[in-house]
Amino acid sequence: MGKDMFALDGKVAIVTGGSRGFGKAIAIALAEAGANVVVASRTQADLNCVAQEIETRGGKALAVAADMLDRASIEKLASRTIEAFGKVDILVNNAGQGWNVPFLKLTEAQWDQILNVNLKGYFLCTQIVGQHMFKAKSGRVINMSSAMGNYPLPYLVAYAAAKGGINAMTKCLAQEWATRGITVNAIAPSYFATDINKNAMEDKAINQLIMSKTPVNRWGQVEELVGLVVYLASDASGFMTGAVLPLDGGWSAG
């Protein structure tokens, strides 16, 4: 076994929520490992910037605006991927949303929005893109979950419920598709230094709470996440399926 086990040359990957944060970093990392990458989110202009960065680095990329709660939009994403690259080998479900809201003030509309974006979106995208993997008898599904799915903080009821649902969906689907050559795994990060967490990083009380739960006593860096994604996308992880892998600086160790 050598570096070739982690190479993704000739593979085709779709990354949802690919215009910023984790999604952008993951898309670039997969491209640098050799994959042709399709980045998807709702904002075409932001996606174009990511695709251009990948191509500037020598990779191949396609930017497709898509709404992960719209079946027709996801079907178009899958079709454009097949038209451009002939197949799809890797799906990274990454699009997500969450708010800190006290439970008694959580509205039904907020609950529906968070569950839909974080869970229903993963269901729709995996079902539609997964059809192509199922026919090919080969594929990698990688779900971005969260430490909140098993070790939640207060005021995150809807978000934690959605991430817990992702964990259960991952384990169930891994068993269902195990004999089709498709692996289904999830990554459960805690708090990482991304733009979406900038306000929390700058809030002394919130930062202190997060550090009290994090034995390594610092925020994660996106560079520490992308290697695990590449591993799960590669041949090196062929015997791993149904795993929810913590990437949390020790959050889950306590």
Cite the active site residues. 159
| CA 137 to the chain's CA centroid | 22
User: By C-alpha distance, which of 32, 19, 129 is closest to 63?
Assistant: 19
List the 90-93 sheet strands across, edge first.
61-65, 36-41, 12-16, 90-93, 139-144, 182-189, 244-247
Name the amino acid, one letter, at 124: L
Torsional sign, CA 150, 153, 154, 157 = negative
For the beta carbon of residue 205, count every other beta carbon within 10 angstroms: 8
Q: Are 74 and 80 in contact (CB under 8 A)?
A: no
What's the token pair of residue 213? 């739960």
Give the whole-angstrom CA distance, residue 107 versus residue 117: 16
